[in-house]
Structure 1
Amino acid sequence: MATGTTYGARDHARAQQGRRTAAMPLVPAPEGLVWAENVAGGNYTHKAVARGTELRLADPTGTACAHVLLYVTGAPWERLNVADTVKVQWNAYLGAGRLLLSDQGRVLASLVADTSGRHDTLCGTSTAARNTARYGDGSPHGGTPAGRELFKLAAAKHGLAPRDLPPSLSFFQGVRVEPDGALEFTGSAGPGTAVTLRAEMPLTVLLANVPHPLDPNPAYVCGPLEVRARAGQPTGPGDPLWDDTPEGRRAFQNTAEHLTARGL
């Protein structure tokens, strides 16, 4: 179909209706879901979700690496604080039952299910300088985009600037700390693993699916990331997660008090 004229370009564009690719948003989302998307390696996505939303991230090939940033929708100065997430819970390793905290001592999201166990709270995502040195390019529209460059694009669509990008955490590619303090890249747990996050506040979610900065593979290899979200209920008193640890209980109480004062 010729696209050399406005009419031709219009007809070509309309002819694409209904076509599907392996990596794209599913709009409208399938019944029962509020967000469904397949994110290619080297790409990003973003969405504002309601409190209680259950967000499932899956790694079908064992090569995805989901770098994550979280912000309170409408109050983005309250955002994921990876240092406090680690410090308050006395644990640098994510898994089911862990909480993702803001610097206000409140719970942004809880990790309610995890079949991977290979995650990272220590290294953040890749940068343009590192990717340029390693692959020859780190620009967001090149063949080997850096995670921070993709986060900049995602953030801009929610009125956020580069200064609003704190350190991120990542799922599906693990890092462990050796006794001497060295970082060991443990890689993937294999294909078919997933994690489920429960939004404990209204959240803006930014995701960049790029290779982990410690991945020793000289090639830029990153498989697709499956994103599926459904409406749900936030954690409340009586839920085992609420009372799992004294630190967690206090964080949930801080969150409930804050939301009650705002009429949420």
Structure 2
Amino acid sequence: MMSSKTPIFTDTIPGAAHWSMVIPKGHVLQAKDLEGGANLSMLFYNPTNLLERYNAPDSLKGQHTFKLTAGHCLYSDMGRVFCSIVRDDTHWIDSVCGVANKQKVAEKWGERDYQKDRNQWKQNGYDALLVEVAKYGLGQRDLAANLNLFSCVKTDEDGNLQYLEDHSKAGDCIELRFEMDTLVVLTTCPHPMNPAEDYPFKPVELALFEAQPVREGDACVTSREENGRGFENNRRYHMHSACRHQ
């Protein structure tokens, strides 16, 4: 773990739930799949400028990969690094499949609503993220392409996307080290390609730690030449921010 041993806080997010928090620079968010088969959809925004948000295409093409895992960085649309992936027990984080909407969930698992079914209703990832971003004055047009932690989607020989079942095991952890203050928005609704017969309510445990300083030769900084430039963009951003507040 690239962090202190004692968590600042822990919380368990049940399946089909959503959550958000501003995580300060220099902290690690650890997500743990408690039962296996979880899905954690995430988006990132700059809390002081909500127009700056996670950019999936730049994160992939800038690091020459379709597969995000430990050693990779997650970029904003302004060329800065929101966070670095410092641990990934699953070795593959889906970055292209998005989230399911209400219609897709109803077609796959049937309809339930909160008024009748309470916490056993079948929430969908799109509406869950929309509820969270609305708390910050954002709406539909602010939902960018998201990450799906604990989920893996590969391509077959014909180029068709294939969801990998049993990709994440109970106890698997993914850790994100935040390189700038970041508004994190997430949901534990199931992956849109999950073939389960019954709607999967899979909880995820979150823990926040103070990160160790980024050292020379850090794997996330050096894994790609572009990442070095991303960290330099962060340095200049924080330098300018400090000057404005003097």
| 1:140 CA displacement | 7.2
| 1:222 CA displacement | 2.9
> Kindly tell me: are residues 242 and 161 of structure 1, through their superposed partners in 2, closer, same or farther at Cα, counting changes over 3 Å?
same
| 1:112 CA displacement | 0.3
| 1:238 CA displacement | 4.4
| 1:179 CA displacement | 3.3
1:202 alignment partner in structure 2: 181
CA distance in 2, matches of 1:215, 1:196: 23
Q: 1:38 aligns with which of 4, 7, 12?
A: 12
- Quick check: 1:72 aligned with 2:46? yes
SS of 1:92's equivalent in the other structure is coil
Q: Which runs of 5+ in 1 are unaligned?
A: 1-30
2:91 alignment partner in structure 1: 117
1:184 alignment partner in structure 2: 162
- Quick check: 1:157 aligned with 2:131? no
SS of 2:220's equivalent in the other structure is coil
Q: 2:106 aligns with which of 109, 132, 152?
A: 132
Given that 2:25 and 2:178 are in contact with CA atoms closer than 8 Å, whether structure 1 keeps it comes out as yes
1:232 alignment partner in structure 2: 211
Given that 2:36 and 2:170 are in contact with CA atoms closer than 8 Å, whether structure 1 keeps it comes out as yes
Given that 2:15 and 2:200 are in contact with CA atoms closer than 8 Å, whether structure 1 keeps it comes out as yes
Q: Partner letter of residue 48 of structure 1?
A: V
1:7 alignment partner in structure 2: none
1:21 alignment partner in structure 2: none
CA distance in 1, matches of 2:113, 2:184: 22
When the two chains are superposed, the root-mean-square deviation of aligned CA atoms in Å is 2.0
Q: Partner letter of residue 155 of structure 2?
A: V
Identity percentage of aligned residues: 28
Q: Looking at both structures, which has the greater relative contact order when contacts are Cα pairs under 8 Å and sequence separation is at least 6?
A: 2
Given that 2:37 and 2:168 are in contact with CA atoms closer than 8 Å, whether structure 1 keeps it comes out as no
> Kindly tell me: are residues 233 and 78 of structure 1, through their superposed partners in 2, closer, same or farther at Cα, counting changes over 3 Å?
farther
The aligned length equals 234
1:247 alignment partner in structure 2: 226
Q: Partner letter of residue 94 of structure 1?
A: L
- Quick check: 1:213 aligned with 2:192? yes
Given that 2:33 and 2:168 are in contact with CA atoms closer than 8 Å, whether structure 1 keeps it comes out as no
CA distance in 2, matches of 1:56, 1:72: 20
CA distance in 2, matches of 1:83, 1:138: 34
| 1:136 CA displacement | 2.6
Q: 2:68 aligns with which of 69, 75, 94?
A: 94
| 1:118 CA displacement | 3.9
Q: Which runs of 5+ in 2 are unaligned?
A: none
